[in-house]
Structure formats: structure tokens, C-alpha cells
Structure 1
């Protein structure tokens, strides 16, 4: 019969200390993201931006570098009228970019544009704005995510459509807002498809029903909002001066187009 091996007290203490250290390290080294569980990619280098980068019809691939504003662009506040870090011409495509802090006014699209796998680590005034003047123009946001947007993520000033798909948003005011008081107003449309929203957040989409705006939803997942405080569709009476008036919220058959089956809470 074999006798059980007795470990010296010093070795037992060392093993216990090693276990404690390993537990601390395991807790400290967690994926980038909020307590709700959103995760963001790691940057592959950094690039300061002191003058906005203009992107034409030749696709621009940022290689997953982090771009951040310096000098005149080194402001992450909410004041209106800031310059963007990227200005996209009609027909431009921007891919694999991380916007760090400060991000000024993010990205401006002057017409139809595509944003592939673009991430905003700390949204400044807005993450991206669709400008332009054609009713057929479309901003397509495919993949990526945004967080720390105290006001809006996507701002829609021109006409046309913004299509946001396969996207995540965390700690935000409004994911989308049709301009409430632009000097020239238009009918605008937003499509939210396969979007995951992490609480805290306020509104997924704000639209102006008096101008005929629409918001369509499919595959929406809301995480960490057990009280269901995040408004799915908020309705306004838009204006050309002054402040818009909030007039309601919720699904209907004309402007806020979704049903309970399009929204999942977890």
C-alpha cells in the first residue's frame, strides 16, 4: 500500500499564491468592451489626422488602423459644424477603419457611399453624416460598431436612405436621427437590419413623420435593457428653424415599420 505524499507547507503556500495570481490575471485581461458584452477590434497601428482625408471613387482601406484628430480636428465635443476626419465623395467606399478619440465629426458622405467594417471607439459630434441632395442616394453601413455616443451616431441631413446592417452600438443617445431642423428638409428613410444594441441607450431611430420619413427594422437584438427603456422608433414633427417637436413613438403601418417579432431582448 502506497503512502500518500505530503507536500511541505512552503510548497503548499507557493501553489496557493500562484493560483491567486492566476485568478487576478484572468479577471484583469478581459476583452475590450462594456459590461453588457460588446467587443471591438484592436487597432493595427495609429494615424493622427490634422486635415480631413478626402476619399474619392477609389476605395480606401485603412488596414484597421486607428485614426484620431489632432490640431483643429482634435475635439471630441458636441458642438455643431465640426470638420470630419473623412470626407467621402459620391460613390466612395471606406473600409477597415477605427476612429479613436478625438474623432471630431467622424465621417461625412457627400452622396452615395459605403462604410465597410468601420468602428467608432468614442463618437464625437456624430459618427457619420449623410449630406448630398439626391433622393436616390444611399449610405450603406455594413459591419462595424460605435460606442460612447452621448447624442447621435448616424445623422441624416440630405435626402435618400441610410441602411445600417450587421452593426453593434453601445452606450448611445440615438443610433439614427433624421435631421429635425435642417434649413432644407426632405423625406428620408432608414433601414436597420441585424443590429445589436447594448444598454445604456436611448433611441434606435428618430424620424420626422410630417416629411414622410420611414424606419424599417429586422433582426434587432437589444442587450441588457430589462426595463425596455430603449425606444425603438421615436416620432417628431420636423421644422426648418427652431426645435422639432416629439409627437410619439412605436410601430405603425406608415412610418415606424416593425413588429414585436423583429425585436429580441436578451
Structure 2
């Protein structure tokens, strides 16, 4: 049974570092870690931060989408305050009637959720036909979040030196891209994600008004039926890493472009790995082409959420 709740939620512009506890276990303010990048074949060194939080209570990568039992309709974009944790309890969240326009870049006001610096969002399903899914306006954690049908972007990073961590979750039918990096000198770290049918898995903005080096580390993911895993701008020093990935019917790993800050179409300069920007090796970094439905590197929590299987009645994998 689908229940629609119309919530008139005004944007909460909270800049305080105080933690707002919206979960059973409590949220916590995330401390920024500005560390070096590491060499080819390594993860971005900020990956070590994964060990500084409680162990995830959900498995990943999961190759089946959750079944939502309730839909929450938000009249306005929901702002998760700075330092707060929002736990959606695996409900589906969407805006009224949706507003998908694949030809237009959405604004913060078009997103279902905006995350203020230090926010965490977890156990959320983003419904279909939403112009924008989630915008991270500063450092943020995105855990076990699922996009049922991506329109323009699923998750967009903004802000200065934004550290964005994605653990688990999945997205499908992203005609354009799943992860968009519009930040000024940020880092994207994506672990345990499942992508099904997409244009680009990750994209560093090629024509933003403000440009800088961006860094993406993608590991332990399953990606099927996509055009490419990443687009980067070597002229701004972007770095892209891919490790322990199972991919199937994905034509290109990395596309390289000459980005600009005048909002014109970036110039394509090539594809494939190198020793400075596209830092991956299909053999040593265990990038397996061809996915038969069996996930080879599954994380299974010691203390899973008690209600978890309720939303995966047919199991987590094929």
C-alpha cells in the first residue's frame, strides 16, 4: 500500500556544527580530512576515513533494488542541516508529480535533498521523474541510498574542497550521469555501489564557471549497461581511480576532455589509463569485464539493521 504524505518543509538553513540526531544510533559531525592523494593503484588517501565511523549495517554491493512500502512527497527541497544525520527508513522520497527535464541542469531548488556541510543521509529511496536527486553543498556521507530512475543527476557535489563519501546503494536509468562533481577542488569516494543503465557513472564538470582539480576514487562497484565510467579534465589536474570493479557492457572506462570555465562544450582529447590522471590498470586493479550476476567482493554486516530484509523480500542478489 502506497501512502503519500505531503510535507510542507521549509529549507532549513542551519550552519551550526551541532549534531541533530535523527537516527536510532545518533548522527555525528564529520571532521574534514585534507590528505594527500596516493599513487597509481592506491585509493585516494581519504579512503582511510571509512574506518573512523561505525561499521555499515547494510550489505554492499547489492544488485537488487529495495521495495519501498511508503512514499513521502515533499513540497519543497528537504535540507539536512549541517552535522545532522537523516535516516529515511527506506521510504521513497519525491517531489510532487516529479519535474524531470533531461535537457536542463537542475538547481538546488530542484533537488529532493540538499545536504549542508557535515550532513549524513542514509536508508533513502529517491523516486522516479525527479529533476535532481541529492545535492551535497559541502562534506557529506551518503549511505545506502537508491535512485529508482535518474533524470539529470543522482548526486551532485558542490562547494569548496568537498569530501563526498558514498557507501552502498544504487541507481538505474541515468540517461546522462549518476555522480556529478561541480565542487571546487573536491574528492568523490564511491564504495560498494550498483549502477544499471547509465551514460556516465562519474563526471567532473567540464564547463563550470569555477574550475579546479577534482579527485574520484571508485571501488568495489558493479556497473552494467553504461557508456562510460568517468569523464575527467586533465588540464585541471583531475585524478580518476577505479579498483575492484565488476563491469558489463560498459564501453569506456575514462573519457578525457579539455575543460573550460566559459560554459562551452569541452574538447575531447582521448580515453584510457595513463600515469598521471586516469590512474587504473584493468589487471592489477582487478577490473573484471563481464558480470554474471555473482558479486565477488560482498560486504556483509555483523550487525545488520533488523528491518533490512523487509525491503528486499527476494534477497539482495540474483
TM-score range, shorter chain: 0.7 to 0.9
Question: 1:144 is matched with which residue?
Answer: 169
| Residue deviations 1:160-179 (CA, integer Å, cap 9, x gap) | 10001100101100010000
Question: 1:221 is matched with which residue?
Answer: 246
Question: 1:20 is matched with which residue?
Answer: none
**CA-atom RMSD, angstroms?**
1.3
Question: 2:116 is matched with which residue?
Answer: 89
Structure number with the higher helix fraction is 1
Question: 1:124 is matched with which residue?
Answer: 151
Give me the whole-angstrom Cα distance separating, in 2, the residues matched to 1:251 and 1:58.
38
Question: 2:289 is matched with which residue?
Answer: 265
Question: 1:43 is matched with which residue?
Answer: 68
Question: TM-score when scaled to structure 1?
Answer: 0.80
Contact 1:69-1:101 at 8 Å conserved across structures: no
Contact 2:163-2:187 at 8 Å conserved across structures: yes
Give me the whole-angstrom Cα distance separating, in 1, the residues matched to 2:168 and 2:73.
24
Structure 1 unaligned spans of 5+: 1-36
Other structure's SS at 1:90 match: coil
Give me the whole-angstrom Cα distance separating, in 2, the residues matched to 1:53 and 1:152.
22
Residue 247 in structure 1 maps to residue 247 in structure 2: no
Question: 1:18 is matched with which residue?
Answer: none
Give me the whole-angstrom Cα distance separating, in 1, the residues matched to 2:113 and 2:203.
20
Tell me which stretches of 4 or more aligned residues in structure 1 moved more than 3 Å: none
Question: 2:206 is matched with which residue?
Answer: 180
Instruction: Quote how far apart the aligned CAs of 1:132 are.
Output: 0.4
| Residue deviations 1:131-166 (CA, integer Å, cap 9, x gap) | 001x3x310000000000000111101121000110
Give me the whole-angstrom Cα distance separating, in 2, the residues matched to 1:38 and 1:143.
10
Give me the whole-angstrom Cα distance separating, in 2, the residues matched to 1:92 and 1:260.
34
Give me the whole-angstrom Cα distance separating, in 2, the residues matched to 1:101 and 1:131.
23
Contact 1:44-1:63 at 8 Å conserved across structures: no
Structure 2 unaligned spans of 5+: 1-61, 291-318
- The within-5 A match list for 1:110-121 is 110-121=137-148
Residue 236 in structure 1 maps to residue 263 in structure 2: no
Question: TM-score when scaled to structure 2?
Answer: 0.68
Larger radius of gyration: 1
Give me the whole-angstrom Cα distance separating, in 2, the residues matched to 1:103 and 1:61.
20
Give me the whole-angstrom Cα distance separating, in 1, the residues matched to 2:174 and 2:75.
22
Relative contact order higher in (CA < 8 Å, ≥ 6 apart) = 2
Structure number with the higher strand fraction is 1
Instruction: Quote how far apart the aligned CAs of 1:189 are.
Output: 0.4
Among candidates 216, 239, 246, match of residue 190 of structure 1: 216
Contact 2:171-2:196 at 8 Å conserved across structures: yes
